[in-house]
């Protein structure tokens, strides 16, 4: 069944969108990532204009994250205090990101920047997660070995210390705010929730327990993507309601299924799978940048 999208001004198959939403929703629920880093490139691929894909994806992530966070709230695996600190940074970052996006769009470099960001972030995070999870798995197979204690690094020497009871942490508020801000910038320019960066940052940089990371990340993502949606809707008019509804119907159902799958799996297995997924997307995007494209020319809107 074909459907004409009012803002994107293209006609696409409704079932394809529902399916894509569902698939990405499952991943989102399993790993606590918004799934935007997969969905946005997929939307480009089926012919949605990039500006519409980025803005609409932000709207869809609100739905899947909200659905996911409710499941986590019931299990009390959300650190609301940490989430709020991350959010403060996130909103500042998102506001800056929307401005940067508009500027780069005018220069015609937005596509390149978005892809370079993806390759760099996905590459670093994927590799880190992969090696770390491998180490964790081999460690768990040797019951005699003790897990190494977390080292006190520069993160613990900063001022403005706060107590985060749910996470069992007593650390400075500066690193979470910075993590939130950088994720906010990415949310605006890449049309992603930023969970794929925030989740590892929370585990490895802030030292939060894996149990509360997913819920807390989803909590912060809801607000940052809601803010990004509003910014895109009012400055660029690029949020497509019809597209968002189709994606989120599939997405929220997928997220619920994914959350249940995630509970049944071991944290190390979950992380190694996410790492492989992240590396695969990174490789694909990297090749796109390095190999000669079939069409060297591209069209954009003139007369601005």
Partner 1 sequence: MRRLLLSLALLAAATTQAPAEEVVAGLSQNRVSITANFDGSEIMIFGAVKRTAPPPDAGPLEVVVKITGPLTPVVVRRKERVLGVWANTAAVEVDAAPSFYAVATTGPLREILSDTEDLRHRISIERMIRSVGAPMDITDSQAFSEAIVRIRADKGLYRTYEGAVELTEETLFRTAIGLPANLVEGDYTARIFLIRDRGVVDMRSVSIEVSKVGLERWIYDLAHQRPLAYGMLSLVIAIAAGWIASAVFGRFRT
Q: Does 290 bind partner 1 (CB under 8 A)?
A: yes
- φ, ψ at 153 (rounded to 5°): -105, -170
Backbone CA torsion sign across 195, 179, 87, 43: negative
Q: Does 44 bind partner 1 (CB under 8 A)?
A: no
Choices 129-137, 142-150, 190-198, 292-300; region in contact with partner 1 by CB under 8 A: 292-300
Cα 203 from Cα 61, distance rounded (Å): 22
Q: Does 149 bind partner 1 (CB under 8 A)?
A: no
Q: Does 293 bind partner 1 (CB under 8 A)?
A: yes
Q: Does 151 bind partner 1 (CB under 8 A)?
A: no
Identify the helix (H) or strand (E) that includes residue 162: strand 161-164
Q: Does 118 bind partner 1 (CB under 8 A)?
A: no
DSSP, collapsed to helix, strand or coil, labels residue 76 as coil
Closest to partner 1 by CB, 143 vs 302, is 302
DSSP, collapsed to helix, strand or coil, labels residue 46 as coil
Q: Cβ neighbours of residue 213 under 8 Å, at least 6 residues apart?
A: 32, 199, 202, 203
- Least distance from partner 1 to the Cβ atom of residue 261, Å: 13
Cα 130 from Cα 275, distance rounded (Å): 5
Given 143, 150, 264, 299, the residue binding partner 1 (CB under 8 A): 299
DSSP, collapsed to helix, strand or coil, labels residue 58 as helix
Q: Does 2 bind partner 1 (CB under 8 A)?
A: yes
- φ, ψ at 161 (rounded to 5°): -75, 145
- What residues make contact with partner 1 under the rule CB under 8 A? 1-4, 6-7, 9-11, 47, 59-60, 62-68, 70-71, 74, 108-109, 111-112, 116, 226, 229-230, 232-234, 237, 239, 241-242, 244-245, 248-249, 252-253, 255-256, 289-293, 295-303
């Amino acid at each position: 069944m074909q459907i004409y999208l009012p803002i994107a001004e293209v006609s696409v198959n409704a079932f394809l969108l529902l399916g894509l939403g569902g698939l990405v929703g499952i991943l989102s629920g399993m790993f606590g990532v918004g799934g935007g880093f997969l969905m946005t490139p997929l939307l480009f691929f089926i012919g949605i204009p990039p500006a519409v894909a980025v803005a609409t994806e932000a709207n869809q992530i609100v739905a899947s994250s909200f659905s996911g966070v409710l499941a986590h709230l019931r299990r009390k695996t959300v650190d609301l205090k940490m989430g709020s600190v991350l959010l403060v940074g996130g909103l500042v970052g998102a506001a800056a990101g929307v401005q940067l996006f508009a500027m780069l769009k005018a220069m015609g470099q937005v596509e390149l920047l978005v892809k370079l960001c993806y390759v760099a972030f996905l590459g670093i995070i994927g590799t880190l997660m992969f090696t770390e999870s491998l180490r964790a798995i081999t460690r768990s197979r040797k019951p005699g070995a003790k897990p190494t204690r977390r080292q006190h690094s520069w993160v613990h020497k900063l001022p403005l210390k706060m107590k985060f009871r749910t996470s069992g942490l007593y650390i400075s508020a500066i690193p979470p705010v910075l993590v939130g801000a950088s994720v906010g910038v990415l949310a605006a320019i890449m049309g992603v929730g930023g969970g794929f960066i925030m989740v590892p940052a929370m585990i490895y940089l802030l030292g939060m327990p894996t149990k509360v990371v997913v819920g807390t990340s989803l909590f912060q993502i809801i607000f940052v993507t809601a803010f990004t949606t509003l910014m895109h809707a009012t400055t660029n008019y690029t949020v497509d309601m019809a597209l968002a509804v189709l994606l989120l119907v599939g997405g929220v159902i997928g997220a619920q299924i994914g959350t249940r799958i995630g509970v049944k799996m071991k944290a190390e297995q979950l992380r190694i799978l996410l790492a492989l997924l992240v590396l695969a997307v990174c490789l694909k995007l990297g090749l796109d940048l390095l190999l000669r494209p079939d069409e060297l020319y591209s069209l954009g809107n003139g007369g601005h």
